[in-house]
Amino acid sequence: MDLSWELPIPLDYGQLPKFPIEGLPEPIKRFFVNGSEHCDVEYDQFAVTSLAAISTSVQKKFCIETNAPYCEPLAFWGLISSPSGSRKSSVQAIVLKPIQEWERDKRKEESSEIKRIISSIFAMDARIKELHRLSAKSDDPDERKNLLIEIDEIEAGKPELRSYTSVLVEDVTPECLSLVMRENSGRTGVFSAEGSGFFEMARGRYSGEGTPQLGIYLKSYSGESVRVNRLSRDPISIDSAVMSICLAVQPEILRDHARQKAFRYSGLWARFCFSMPPHNIGERTLRRQPLDEGVLSEYGNIVKTLLDLPLSDQPTVLRLSAEAQALWDQFWHDVEHQMKEGHELASFRDWGAKLPGATARIAGLLHLIRYAYNQNRGDLEVGELDMVSAIKIGFYFKAHTLAVFDSMGSDNMRDKARGVLAWLQSLNKRGDPEPTITRREIQASHQSRFGTAKEVDEAMSILIEHGYLSHPFKQPTKGRPSVCYRINPHFYK
């Protein structure tokens, strides 16, 4: 055996990393630990849901500059792939409680003013109705003219009826979502512990045509303007829409929605940071740690402090320190390299292209947690510590996202490489001291699997990168030289 060969790297994703909590702001770390111990789940569910909750609290108030003058809005989209019974609802209830309390308090404050406006509108409508009645009875042209002028003046003076503050939504149609966002200054947070409804709405289940309705979602990730035209009603216009999302979805349901090609090709999947934490169903006990009221209060105060920050015409710009900028630049280059042919993100360039931006957003959110906790309103520079944490989280999401895509059947080329690997195993070259295979043999045996020679090369690149095959070499024959690959002898052990 050639002793230069190392053991090949398995094509499956193996044990996935846990959410990295080292270096996070202390109050949020304490919340993740206490919450996960109480619910008897991994930190991951609390961490991903909390990032979306913090993001919802600061929408359109801040953005983060990565390459001047480009700024990323702080929208965060998280998706947790977790089986039924893994306490997804309990986690969301704990994480979202401060936002729901803040909503209730705001509605109490708004109640008397909204009731006054409704009463004024009701009285004005009654007066307009009476003026129309008098106008219809009058035979005097001048009197009718004056009555109509008064009607116009009342109509012009009607106060605008505002809605109660509504930060969170769950399963709503895209049109209803646009209405909610317009009433909330172009912002919302979509949270669902049974995320199938979100995808049913997005795929157009309740639209007349049954076609995917993705525009408002896609545009709200990057803060673009949204315009929804409606028959016989005024269009809905939002100058800069920003949406944060956190969905918990069962793996089987996720696989079903993966068949919706529009979700992949439109870039909807590419906007999510996926998490697939291990579950401990079957091993849990009834002895759960109680929630620490001090920890909950600490977390709740951070969320409410950020919700209370005023909304201005333009978001406040967070900038990276020199050290943080250098770290982010290197991370960008690392991800860019991983999107080359044959590398880890080559089949997921749509997702990989958004990873550096998502990581910068996470760094901004971590900075704002410190900002709210320390009450340091003048600190608008994201430092090295939070960027280091964000990059670790970015690598975490990369590993989990690739695993989720694999479980969804989205990693088509990796599946093809597995097929070749199974075929190589069936050849049983165990007794061959230098097992070799030609490119022509591979292509001939997998005509239904590979449409083009380029696809063969891409699959072989994956097997080379994982150490199953050598780099190709040419072997002389009577005719055209054959392109060959040596097979790692460890593979047949």
Q: Is the pLDDT of residue 493 over 80?
A: no
Q: Check residue 439 and give left, alpha or beta (phi > 0: left; psi -120 to 50: alpha).
A: alpha
Q: Are 74 and 365 in contact (CB under 8 A)?
A: yes
Percentage with pLDDT > 70 across the chain: 95
Interatomic CA distance for residues 107 and 424, integer angstroms: 65
Smallest CA-to-CA distance from 17 within 391, 400, 481, 282 is with 400
Tell me: pLDDT of 376 over 70.
no
Q: What mean pLDDT is predicted for residues 107-135?
A: 90
Assess whether pLDDT exceeds 80 at residue 85.
yes
With 50 as the cut, is the pLDDT of residue 116 above it? yes
The residue behind tokens 């449409």 is: 451
**Would you say the C-alpha torsion 111, 113, 115, 121 has a positive or negative sign?**
negative
The DSSP call for residue 343 is S
Q: Which of 10-14, 195-199, 268-272, 462-466 has the highest mean pLDDT?
A: 268-272
Q: Cis (ω within 30 of 0) for the bond into 27?
A: no
Contact between 395 and 429 under an 8 Å Cβ cutoff? The reply is: no
Checking if the pLDDT of 407 tops 90, the result is no
pLDDT tier, 324 (very low <50, low <70, confident <90, very high otherwise): very high
Q: Contact 314/385 with Cβ under 8 angstroms?
A: no
Q: What is the pLDDT of residue 208?
A: 57
Residue appearing with tokens 């983060």:
64
Q: What is the mean pLDDT of residues 396-422?
A: 85
**Pairing of the two strands 168-169 and 436-438:** unpaired
> If you average pLDDT over residues 360-387, what whole number do you get?
88
How high is the pLDDT of residue 397?
97
Question: What confidence score (pLDDT) does residue 289 get?
Answer: 87
More confident residue, 210 or 404: 404
**Separation between Cα atoms, residue 348 and residue 338, nearest integer Å:** 10
User: Which range (186-195, 353-362, 449-458) has the least confidence?
Assistant: 449-458
Higher-scoring residue by pLDDT: 62, 414: 62
Q: Is 282 left (phi over 0), alpha (psi -120 to 50) or beta?
A: left
Query: Is 101 strand, coil or helix?
Result: helix
Arithmetic mean of pLDDT, 247-264: 87
Mean pLDDT of the chain: 89
Q: What's the average model confidence in pLDDT over 173-188?
A: 88
